[in-house]
Structure 1
Amino acid sequence: MPVNLSAPDPKTLHPVPGVKLGITMAGVRKANRRDLSVITLAEGSQVAGVFTSNRFCAAPVQLCRKHLASGTGPRAIVINTGNANAGTGEDGLVRAFSTCVALARHLELAPEQVLPFSTGVIMEPLPNDRIEAGLPAALADLKEDNWGVAAEAIMTTDTLPKAASRQLRIGGKTVTVTGISKGAGMIRPNMATMLSFVATDAVIAPALMQSLVREAADLSFNRITIDGDTSTNDSFVVVATGQAGHAPITSVDSAEGAALREALVSVAQQLAQAIVRDGEGATKFITVQVDAGGSEAECQQVAYAIAHSPLVKTAFFASDPNLGRILAAVGYAGIADLDQTKIDLFLDDVHVAKQGGRNPSYREEDGQRVMKQSEIDVRVVLNRGTASATVWTCDLSYDYVKINADYRS
């Protein structure tokens, strides 16, 4: 069961002018399930994205990077679930491009104006014939208010769809930010088996787009981990249609630029945290915060060491306050000059370790009380500077093994 997560109410997902979504059943892997989505973008839309750091990246990721770099101006997105089209070599590239060509013909576009995305099983040929056969039905379903259905259609091992939406005022105009994501396993920093698509009708200067998307990713999808694996297909894409009609946002230093940045980051963080809450077999949502570090990078290093540790994560699943495992993770995080005599550890309101040792006032029953909660805050204070960083993770349960053992069946 997801941790304090419910399916989004479609009524709360504001349509984004200039974006339409169409969904159908193409039988990519299983019959009678929505598995093919098409998103069309108004002419003049800007698109920027960040992709997996896995060097064995999937064919659609390779094509997306190439198409975005072509400068032709993306006008459509095609997404299939059930097949990742990864580990498929040159044949995978040919099949992915074939879907771009097919959709481009329907929409009278150049193939380079289509961005393909896939998620699912690795090392199986993409059934592009089924995808191409399903395109007319997806196009016939195009609607501005199809965000909720699209969130369902991109799911794989997810138990719930994930979507978020915000509205704000810029230059006297109402601006919308709406997004969807999928992911439940192979989730770690630098993104994972996750896809996320966020759109806004804000007018954003081209020079600002990529840095804005990168910052949103760094503060959200690059701060989550479920199992420490990095996928072949992860992608985070932001579309700005410019339909709101206000003066272009050229910097996040202005009040309006800061407000837009805040809305984008807020949506991305809600989507990222939803992925952790729906982590495969997760029973607990854990926030790991590292404070008073020498740099943000070293704070992240420590936070990830804790969040990745199978021993830490299984202790949380068992509600076992074996909290020396957290200190051990801090110690092997890789900070060569770390002074253990300065480190404090807190579990919610419980001060567990003080100056590198067990706090004399700490009682195990207090630790166990916190460990039994469905949401837990772990805070490590390094006492060597002023930097901080936060990472979100979950526990590791029996069901994680079951889900991944049965994934292809």
Structure 2
Amino acid sequence: MSESQTAIKKQVKVLEDGRVTTPKGFHARGIHFGLKRKRKDLGWLYSEVPADSAAVYTTNTYQAAPLVVTRESVSVENKIQGILVNSGNANACTGEKGLQDAYQMRKEFAAHAGIQEHLAAVVSTGVIGQHLPMEKILNGIAALVDYEVDGNADDFEEAILTTDTCVKHIGVELEIDEKKVMIGGAAKGSGMIHPNMATMLGFITTDAAIDHNDLSEALKQVTNSTFNMITVDGDTSTNDMVMVLANGLAENKKLTKQHKDWGLFLEGLEMVSKELAKKIARDGEGATKLIEVQVKDARDKEAAGVIAKKIVGSSLVKTAVFGADANWGRIICAVGYSGQQIDPNLVSISLGSIKVVENGLPVPFDEDDAYNYLMNDTIKITVDLAQGNESAVAWGCDLSYDYVRINASYRT
């Protein structure tokens, strides 16, 4: 990291209890309305004014009805003011009825929230192939969008979860044009998590002033190094997306790529996205450990990224980490089948600070030290290709017995 990048990073302050409602003018709420037995299952995120919006969407060919409707909303004038999220039912692979149900959700939500219909987004997550219980949904919307009842981000964070074991949130503060600017975020994701988007729900808010085109470019840029660098199980969902809303209430001069603080805003957005991505990876279904893989000294960044994702996505690497087995052969195999041009005689591998391979050959190491290291909650694997100056980092989790248990009975 260069000195200038380090200086910018220091200007971003991580808030102790930062939330998606930390930026000015954002409100959230969540309730239980009956899709799940006990946990909250309907959430609402709202900006006091229409917010410039940008999103990245699933790459799965099967795209759920709510995603289709939300993309349509965003396309009207690139602004969103309210987002309605239900969990427990994905409204995916539900045909024309599912699409009409999503449109009805948007219409009723907009009416109760007092906003134009195209400023409303709808999001669903959960079981695929089942129609929504629309009577319950509509009653839930009426109860949810009640300005007389105070809401909070905690309830929203819980309402968007499926098999997650914990809520995921972060907030940061930075200064732009002598104005305090906040960026907050909330996310869900535990299973069906794999690189190239489409694998989680992420909601990012900021009170910065920035128009859609620049916001969209910023989101795509940080997504490539954060959300697109995580994997849990190699499956890609039908529903998921990351959306960022910028309502401008911080009253800074509008951010563009030419603005002196553009790099600072990007750093803040990347920090929020990276922390949410890591929280998703750490909370993989049945996971006990977060795995971080750094590939360095690669010919180019693309090669480094591909290799890092191959390693962190390997079922054999993941199970070895779960069992605290320092089986570096699985790591070097993943490097080899990545499809990238490497020189096997130059590759070195470390588990934390323990070097296990140097210049393509095994290095004697203490098995007990390696075992003790692999028993930690966070495992860092470093692969040095000794071919250039580029690097990339990917995140994932171990693969445990509980992953099978959870997914063997997901619908029942």
Whether TM exceeds 0.5 here: the answer is: yes
Matching residue within 57, 62, 67 for 1:61: 67
Q: Structure 1 residues 40-49 or 344-353, which shifts more?
A: 40-49
- Alignment of 1:392 onto 2:410: no
Q: Does 1:229 align with 2:241?
A: no
Q: Is 2:408 aligned against 1:405? A: yes
SS class of match (1:345): strand
**SS where residue 345 of structure 2 aligns?**
helix
Q: Classify 1:144/1:391 alpha carbon distance in 2 versus 1 (closer, same or farther; 3 Å).
A: farther
Contact conserved, 2:177 with 2:253, CA < 8 A, in 1?
yes
2:346 counterpart residue number: 342
* Equivalence for 1:21: 28
Report what 2:8 is aligned to. none
Structure-2 separation of matches of 1:56 and 1:326:
33
88-97 or 190-199: bigger deviation: 190-199
Q: How does 1:242-253 map to 2 (within 5 A)?
A: 242-251=248-257
Relative to 1, partners in 2 of residues 1:57 and 1:364: Cα closer, same or farther, differing over 3 Å? same
Q: Distance in 1 between matches of 2:48 and 2:112?
A: 15
Q: Which amino acid aligns with 1:190?
A: N
Q: Counterpart of 2:225? A: 219
Question: Post-superposition shift, 1:327?
Answer: 0.7
State which of 199, 203, 211 in structure 2 corresponds to 1:197: 203
The offset of 1:216, in angstroms, is 2.3
**1:352 and 2:359 matched:** no
Does the 8 Å CA contact 2:19/2:186 hold for their aligned counterparts?
no
Q: Provide closer, same or farther for how the CA distance between residues 143 and 47 of structure 1 changes in structure 2, counting only shifts above 3 A.
A: farther
Measured against aligned partners, the alpha-carbon deviations of 1:315-371 in whole angstroms (never above 9, x if no partner) come to 111111111111111111112x42211111111111111111112x43433332322
Partner residue in 2 for 1:4: none
Q: Is the 8 A contact 1:22 1:141 kept in 2?
A: no
What are the residue-to-residue correspondences of 1:151-300 with 2, within 5 Å?
151-251=157-257, 254-300=259-305
Q: What's the CA shift for 1:144?
A: 8.3
Q: Which residue of 2 aligns with 1:3?
A: none
C-alpha spacing 1:43/1:14, structure 2 compared with 1 (3 Å): closer
Range with bigger deviation, 364-373 or 306-315: 364-373
Which shifted more, 93-102 or 188-197? Answer: 188-197
Given residue 295 of structure 1, which amino acid in structure 2 is its aligned partner? Answer: D
User: Partners in 2 of 1:283 and 1:195 — Cα distance?
Assistant: 22
Contact 2:53 2:212 in 1 (8 A): no
Question: CA 1:369–1:258 in 2, change beyond 3 Å: closer, same or farther?
Answer: same
TM-score by length of 1: 0.92
Preserved contact between residue 18 and residue 170 of structure 2 (Cα < 8 Å): no
In the TM superposition, residue 288 of structure 1 has moved relative to its aligned partner by 0.3
2:113–2:145: 8 Å Cα contact kept in structure 1? no
3-state DSSP class of the match of 2:157?
Answer: helix
| Cα distance in 1 between the residues matched to 2:116 and 2:18 | 34
Residues 53, 78 of structure 2: 8 Å contact kept: no
C-alpha offsets along residues 283-327 of structure 1, whole Å, 9 cap, x if unaligned? Answer: 111110111111111111111111111111111111111111111
Measured on the aligned residues, the alpha-carbon RMSD in Å equals: 2.0
Q: Bigger shift: 65-74 or 317-326?
A: 65-74
Q: Which runs of 5+ in 2 are unaligned?
A: 1-14
SS in 1 for 2:49: coil
Cα gap change, 1:144 to 1:190, in 2 (>3 Å): farther
Normalised TM-score (structure 2): 0.92
C-alpha deviation, 1:257, in angstroms:
1.7
C-alpha contact (below 8 Å) 1:20/1:143 kept by paired residues: no
Aligned-pair distance for 1:145?
6.6
- The 1-side partners of 2:212 and 2:176 are apart by 18
Question: Is residue 380 from structure 1 mapped to residue 383 from structure 2 by the alignment?
Answer: yes
Match of 1:370 in 2: 373
Q: Across the two proteins, how many residue pairs are aligned to each other? A: 398
Inter-partner Cα distance in structure 2 for 1:135 and 1:108? 13
**How far did residue 206 of structure 1 move?**
3.2
Give me the whole-angstrom Cα distance separating, in 2, the residues matched to 1:93 and 1:60.
Answer: 7
Superposed displacement of residue 149, structure 1: 1.7
Partner SS state of residue 45, structure 1: strand
Q: Secondary structure at the match of 1:231?
A: coil
For 1:225, what is the secondary structure of its paired residue? coil
In structure 2, the partner of 1:307 is 312
Once the two structures are TM-superposed, the CA of residue 131 in structure 1 deviates from its matched residue by: 1.3
Cα offset for 1:235?
0.8
Q: Which moved more, 1:65-74 or 1:347-356?
A: 65-74
Kept in 1: contact 2:18–2:184 (CA 8 A): no
Aligned AA for 2:278?
Answer: Q
Q: Distance in 2 between matches of 1:369 and 1:238?
A: 41
Moved more, 42-51 or 152-161: 42-51
Q: 1:98, 1:13 → 2: CA distance?
A: 26
- For residues 69 and 130 of structure 1, the distance between their equivalents in structure 2, rounded to whole angstroms, comes to 29
